[in-house]
Chain A
Amino acid sequence: MIPALRRYARALARDADIADDLVQDTLVRALRSERLFLGGDVRSWLYTILTNLNKNRRRSLARRPQFMPLLENNPDASGTEAEGRDIARALATLVEEQRAVLLLVMLEGLSYREVADIQGVPIGTVMSRLARARAHVKAALEGERPALRRVK
């Protein structure tokens, strides 16, 4: 489960150290939680904690100026570096809730129902967030790719 959480956190937070901080906090919280579920779904629960922690983190950052890296600091996707940067950049342009929905569904393979529970919203909201996120990322990728190719 830890590798999957790290993958989600990395895509969500973009920064490798922040992502692992999130995972660490999630695990510590899960292991110490008093509210330990009885027969519930641990996977969803862990994603819920991580998603909420990230939301809190961003909230506390909101008043400070934000630094966006000009280049992904980890351009190591085998053979598809430019594409990897493209998708990371496109993700960064999404609002928080949409990014979480997109990643939970498309990267982590969770069901709409699970994502609805994680975000505490109706399924309809998850679906409209997902639709908007997909349209947005598609537009971002299409707008960005030619420019990058030219640079190469």
Chain B
Amino acid sequence: MTDPKIPVTEDELHAYVDNELPAERRGDVEAWLAAHPDEAERVQSWRAMAEALHARYDQVANEPVPKRLELERLVQPSRRWVYGTIAATVLAFIAGGGTGWLAHGAAATPSTFQSFTEDALDAHRLYVVEVRHPVEVPGNERAHLQAWLTKRCGWDVFAPELTSTGLKLVGGRLLPGPTGPASFLMYESASGERFTVYTAKASAETTQMRYTTQDKNGAKEGALFWTDRGVGYVVSGSSDRERLSQVARLVYDQTEKKGG
């Protein structure tokens, strides 16, 4: 595996830098590069090029988005149509589903925690304001909703019972997540307070719950994130941490029990 004499092709060098090389070949390429300093220098220059690109253009992504590109403006003329089911999914993705992707390949890759909660909070913000079409499958079809999301997502999607905190299941929908499908469940209290539970595949394991808040357009939202057996959970809603923890704890206890 570490025989530096195995010839390495030009394509493999590029694939190596771009993380497209099969894992078992990486060692060969690294050994080969150690024995070919000129080629190693070339590979290094490609890395520097990527850094220069990020250094030059990442700032664009950090600029405030101009008014004319705001989704609210763009969807206004065809709003009724846009809030159909599939279009809403695309809209959710444009609004938030890809934020975790921003720093892909960048030096400062955001933590799973960050990208996850941003995606989840974006979806939360987008749908909690929806009166007529907040969900694709209503909460009174709980069994169907769970079966459908489980089938599409590939892990056990379970809609926890949150009535003890005064929350009733509104329903759920399927969203594009950071690395594949994501499930999105919405709950509502009698006073109209809404919480959402977002799940998607997560690579990093952290059993510890992490808390974040976001302040956008004057509305403050809080979110709690944790992962369990390769699935990341984000409970979003009230910026009141006590209240949020109470809800998240219930979700955690029930999904934990369910899977374990």
Q: Which residues of A contact B (CB under 8 A)?
A: 1-4, 6-7, 10-11, 19-20, 23-24, 27-28, 30-32, 36, 38-39, 41-43, 46, 76-78, 80, 83-84, 86-88, 103, 105-109, 111-112, 127, 130-131, 134, 137-138, 141
User: From DSSP, what is the main secondary structure of chain A's interface residues?
Assistant: helix
A30 to B61, CA, bound (A): 20
B155 in contact (CB, < 8 A): no
User: Using Cβ atoms and an 8 Å threshold, which residues of chain B touch A77?
Assistant: 55-56, 59
User: Using Cβ atoms and an 8 Å threshold, which residues of chain B touch A1?
Assistant: 93-99, 101
Known: A20-B68, A27-B69, A106-B49. A87 touches B56 (CB 8 A): yes
Q: Are B86 and A138 within 8 A (Cβ)?
A: no
User: Using Cβ atoms and an 8 Å threshold, which residues of chain B touch A84?
Assistant: 52, 55-56
Which residue in B46, B53, B94 is a CB contact (below 8 Å) of A30?
B94
A28 to B55, CA, bound (A): 29
User: Using Cβ atoms and an 8 Å threshold, which residues of chain A touch B256?
Assistant: none
Which residue in B46, B97, B105 is a CB contact (below 8 Å) of A134?
B46
Contact count A vs B, C-beta below 8 Å: 148
Q: Which residues of B contact A (CB under 8 A)?
A: 10-11, 14-15, 18, 20, 42, 45-46, 49-50, 52-63, 65-66, 68-69, 71, 74-75, 78, 82, 86-87, 89-91, 93-99, 101-102, 104-106, 152, 176, 181
User: Using Cβ atoms and an 8 Å threshold, which residues of chain B touch A4?
Assistant: 61, 98-99, 101-102
Q: Are A138 and B45 within 8 A (Cβ)?
A: yes
User: Using Cβ atoms and an 8 Å threshold, which residues of chain A touch B59?
Assistant: 76-78
Which residue in B45, B65, B68, B105 is a CB contact (below 8 Å) of A108?
B105
Which residue in A6, A42, A103 is a CB contact (below 8 Å) of B53?
A103
Q: Are B18 and A105 within 8 A (Cβ)?
A: yes
A137 to B48, CA, bound (A): 11
Which residue in A38, A43, A131 is a CB contact (below 8 Å) of B93?
A43
Known: A31-B90, A42-B93, A137-B49. A7 touches B60 (CB 8 A): yes
Q: Are A11 and B57 within 8 A (Cβ)?
A: yes
Which residue in A24, A31, A80 is a CB contact (below 8 Å) of B82?
A31
User: Which of A2, A39, A87, A108 has most chain B Cβ within 10 Å?
Assistant: A2
Which residue in A7, A36, A131 is a CB contact (below 8 Å) of B87?
A36
Q: Which residue of B lies closest to A107 (CB)?
A: B53
Known: A24-B68, A28-B74, A32-B78. A3 touches B86 (CB 8 A): no
User: Using Cβ atoms and an 8 Å threshold, which residues of chain A touch B74?
Assistant: 24, 27-28, 31
Which residue in A28, A39, A83 is a CB contact (below 8 Å) of B56?
A83
Q: Which residue of B lies closest to A75 (CB)?
A: B56
A76 to B91, CA, bound (A): 32
A28 to B73, CA, bound (A): 10
Q: Which residue of A lies closest to B174 (CB)?
A: A39
Q: Are B90 and A42 within 8 A (Cβ)?
A: yes
